[in-house]
C-alpha cells in the first residue's frame, strides 16, 4: 500500500537540492573526513527520508532501522547503495559502540522512548519534532539530557532559517515594530477522513512494533486514489491525525510556527511564560472526558481558534487554522508576516534604507557559526555542537517550553474548556482531569528502559 515510486522520487529530489551557502568556512568536522561522525537513522519513512539525505553531508550513515521492510530497503538502496546495516529493532542500533549520533524520525509516539534510551546509551541525537507526545515526557527528556550531557537537536529547522525566520526575529529584536501586542500563528486545518475499515496489515509492516508504547488497536486503511500520501489510515503518513499517536496540526505545523511566535515574543523582550489557553475547536468525532469515542476515523482537531495568555498580559498569541500559513507579528509601531516563502511588511521594506546591524541575525542565532541555511544549517549546527558540547540552536529545554503550549492547546481542544498553567511548577492547575492528560501510560512491554548503560561516545 506504500507508494514506493513516490517515496524514492521525493527522497532523491531532496538529496540533490542546491545548498544556500551562508558561510564559506567549513567546520573542522566537515573538513576532516577521517573524523566524521558515525550515524544511524531510526525511522526511514516520511521525515526520515527527507532529512537523511541532508544529514549525509555531515555524517556517515552506517545503520538504518525501520519496522517497515520496504522503507528499510528503499532508503538503504537510495542513500548507501545497500551498504548500511539494516535493523528492525532500534535497540540493536543503540547497543553499537561505534555509532555516535542517531536521527529519530519515527512517528511521534516513539520519540521519547527512543531518545531517552539513546541518551542513556551515550548517543547524541537529532530528533524530529514534536519531540514528545505529552508534557511529562518533556520533563523526563530534559532531566536525562542534563544527567547525561548528550547533545540533542530537535528538528524545528525554522530556527536555522537566516533569510526568513531569523531575519524576522532580528527585526523584532531591533525594535522595528515596537512592543508586541498580538502574534498570530496560522497553521492550517487538521486532517479529515471517512469511516476507515479494519484492514489486513501489509506484509512488510510489523504493526505491533509500529504501535509500540500506544494502545493496541487494529490496523485501518481505505484507498485514496491519486494522492501522493497514500490512503486514509491510522499508520504511515497519516498518524498525525490520531491523538493516540500525535497531537494533530497543533504539534505538526504548530511545533514550527508557535515556536517562532514565542521566540518573537522573547526577542521583543517580553514575557513568554504561558498562563492559559482558551478557545474553540471542531473535531469529526465526539469526546468523553477528553477521549475520542469513535475509533474508526481521524480524531484530532480539524479547526481551532485559540488564545494563549502570558504572564505579563501585554501580548497574546492566537493559534488558528485560517488565513495564510505563517506568523503575523503586530507591534505598537508596525507589523510583519513571515512564512517559508516570504517575509513582508513595511518594516521589511524599510530595511533598504535602514538595514539591520551586521550582527543582528547572528545574535538571534546565539552567536554560533552560521553555515548554509535551513535544514543544512540545522544539521551543521548539531555537528558543531557535538564538537563543542554546547546546547544546539533547537535544544530540548527551549523546545519544550514552546511544545508545552502546543500540548496545552490540544488538551483545551479535547476538553472544550480553558486550561490554566503554572510555568514555575510546569503543571496544569485547577482542573484535575486536564492535569491527568499531561501524561499517558505506556503499553506493557514498551515502557522506557531506564537501565541503559551510559557509553563513552
The Cα 114–Cα 111 span in angstroms is: 6
Q: What is the mean pLDDT of residues 89-104?
A: 98
The Cα 415–Cα 430 span in angstroms is: 14
For residue 120, is pLDDT > 70?
A: yes
Q: What is the mean pLDDT of residues 5-17?
A: 39
| Residues 326-350 pLDDT 10s | 999 999 999 999 999 999 999 999 9
Q: What is the mean pLDDT of residues 282-298?
A: 97
> Which strands make up the sheet holding 427-429, listed edge to edge?
343-344, 335-338, 326-331, 180-186, 316-320, 303-310, 274-282, 419-422, 427-429
Q: What is the mean pLDDT of residues 37-61?
A: 94
Half-sphere exposure in the Cβ direction for 276 (13 Å, CA): 12
Percentage of the chain lying above the pLDDT 70 cut: 91
Please tell me whether residue 384 adopts helix, strand or coil conformation.
helix
Tell me how many helices (H) and strands (E) the chain has. 15, 19
Q: What is the mean pLDDT of residues 92-112?
A: 98
pLDDT at 3: 42
pLDDT at 453: 58
Cβ atoms of 187 and 253 closer than 8 Å: yes
- Confidence tier at 23 by pLDDT (50, 70, 90): very low
The Cα 43–Cα 237 span in angstroms is: 12
For residue 26, is pLDDT > 60?
A: no
| Residues 191-228 pLDDT 10s | 999 999 999 999 999 999 999 999 999 999 999 877 66
pLDDT at 230: 79
Please report the sign of the dihedral spanned by the C-alpha atoms of residue 117, residue 118, residue 120, residue 125.
negative
Segments making up each domain of the chain, as ranges? 10-159
pLDDT at 52: 94
Q: Where are the beta strands (DSSP E) in 23-91?
A: 37-42, 59-65, 85-87
* Cell 484530532 sits on residue: 300
Please tell me whether residue 249 adopts helix, strand or coil conformation.
helix
User: Of 133, 147, 139, whose CA–CA distance to 104 is shortest?
Assistant: 133
Q: What is the mean pLDDT of residues 137-149?
A: 98
For residue 352, is pLDDT > 90?
A: yes
Cβ atoms of 380 and 371 closer than 8 Å: yes
- Retrieve residue 13's grid coordinates: 529530489
The answer, yes or no, to whether the previous bond of 130 is cis (omega within 30 of 0) is yes
Contacts (Cβ under 8 Å, ≥6 apart) of 176: 333, 334, 336, 347, 350
Half-sphere exposure in the Cβ direction for 423 (13 Å, CA): 16
For residue 457, is pLDDT > 70?
A: no
Helix axes 46-55 and 374-388, enclosed angle (nearest 10): 70
pLDDT at 35: 78
Percentage of the chain lying above the pLDDT 90 cut: 87
The Cα 316–Cα 149 span in angstroms is: 35
Q: What is the mean pLDDT of residues 425-451?
A: 97
- Total count of residues recorded for the chain: 457
Write down the pTM of the prediction: 0.92
Cβ atoms of 233 and 222 closer than 8 Å: yes
| Residues 163-179 pLDDT 10s | 999 999 999 999 999 99
For residue 22, is pLDDT > 50?
A: no
User: Measuring CA to CA, how many Å separate 250 from each of 13, 29, 326, 403?
Assistant: 28, 36, 13, 9
Q: What is the mean pLDDT of residues 136-156?
A: 98
Label residues 31-56 b or e (16+ Cβ within 10 Å = b): eeeeeebbbbbbbbbbbbbbbbbbbb
CATH C-level class of 10-159: alpha beta
Amino acid at each position: 500500500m506504500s507508494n514506493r515510486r513516490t517515496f524514492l522520487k521525493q527522497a532523491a529530489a531532496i538529496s540533490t537540492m542546491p545548498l544556500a551557502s551562508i558561510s564559506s568556512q567549513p567546520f573542522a568536522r566537515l573538513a576532516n573526513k577521517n573524523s566524521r561522525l558515525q550515524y544511524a537513522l531510526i525511522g526511514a519513512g516520511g521525515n526520515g527520508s527527507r532529512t537523511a539525505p541532508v544529514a549525509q553531508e555531515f555524517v556517515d550513515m552506517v545503520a538504518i532501522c525501520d519496522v517497515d521492510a520496504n522503507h528499510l530497503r528503499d532508503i538503504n538502496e537510495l542513500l548507501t547503495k545497500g551498504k548500511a546495516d539494516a535493523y528492525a529493532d532500534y535497540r540493536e542500533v543503540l547497543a553499537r559502540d561505534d555509532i555516535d549520533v542517531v536521527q529519530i524520525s519515527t512517528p511521534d509516539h516513539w520519540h521519547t522512548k527512543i531518545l531517552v534510551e539513546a541518551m542513556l546509551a551515550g548517543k547524541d541525537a537529532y530528533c524530529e519534532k514534536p519531540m514528545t507526545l505529552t508534557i511529562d515526557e518533556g520533563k523526563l527528556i530534559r532531566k536525562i539530557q542534563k544527567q547525561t550531557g548528550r547533545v540533542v537537536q530537535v528538528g524545528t529547522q525554522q530556527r536555522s532559517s537566516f533569510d526568513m525566520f531569523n531575519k524576522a526575529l532580528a527585526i523584532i529584536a531591533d525594535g522595528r515594530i515596537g512592543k508586541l501586542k498580538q502574534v498570530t500563528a496560522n497553521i492550517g486545518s487538521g486532517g479529515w477522513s471517512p469511516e476507515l475499515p479494519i484492514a489486513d496489515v501489509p506484509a512488510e509492516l510489523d504493526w505491533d512494533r509500529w504501535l509500540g508504547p500506544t494502545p493496541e488497536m487494529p490496523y485501518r486503511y481505505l484507498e485514496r486514489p491519486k494522492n501522493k500520501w497514500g490512503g486514509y489510515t491510522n499508520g504511515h503518513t497519516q498518524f498525525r491525525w490520531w491523538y493516540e499517536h500525535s497531537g494533530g496540526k497543533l504539534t505538526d505545523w504548530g511545533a514550527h510556527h508557535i515556536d517562532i511566535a514565542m521566540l518573537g515574543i522573547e526577542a521583543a523582550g517580553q514575557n513568554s511564560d504561558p498562563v492559559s489557553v482558551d478557545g474553540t475547536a471542531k473535531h469529526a468525532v465526539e469526546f468523553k472526558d477528553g477521549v475520542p469515542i469513535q475509533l474508526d476515523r481521524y480524531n484530532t482537531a480539524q479547526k481551532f481558534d485559540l488564545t494563549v495568555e502570558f504572564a505579563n498580559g501585554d501580548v497574546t498569541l492566537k493559534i488558528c487554522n485560517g488565513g495564510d500559513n505563517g506568523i503575523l507579528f503586530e507591534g505598537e509601531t508596525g507589523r510583519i508576516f513571515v512564512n517559508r516563502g516570504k517575509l513582508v511588511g513595511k518594516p521589511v521594506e524599510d530595511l533598504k534604507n535602514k538595514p539591520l546591524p551586521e550582527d543582528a541575525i547572528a545574535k538571534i542565532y546565539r552567536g554560533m557559526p552560521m553555515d548554509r541555511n535551513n535544514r543544512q544549517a540545522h544539521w551543521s549546527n548539531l555537528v558543531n555542537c557535538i564538537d563543542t558540547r554546547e546546547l544546539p540552536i533547537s535544544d530540548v529545554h527551549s523546545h519544550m517550553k514552546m511544545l508545552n503550549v502546543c500540548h496545552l492547546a490540544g488538551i483545551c481542544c479535547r476538553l472544550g474548556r480553558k486550561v490554566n498553567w503554572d510555568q514555575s511548577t510546569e503543571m496544569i492547575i485547577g482542573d484535575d482531569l486536564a492535569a491527568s492528560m499531561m501524561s499517558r501510560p505506556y503499553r506493557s512491554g514498551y515502557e522506557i528502559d531506564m537501565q541503559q548503560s551510559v557509553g563513552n561516545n
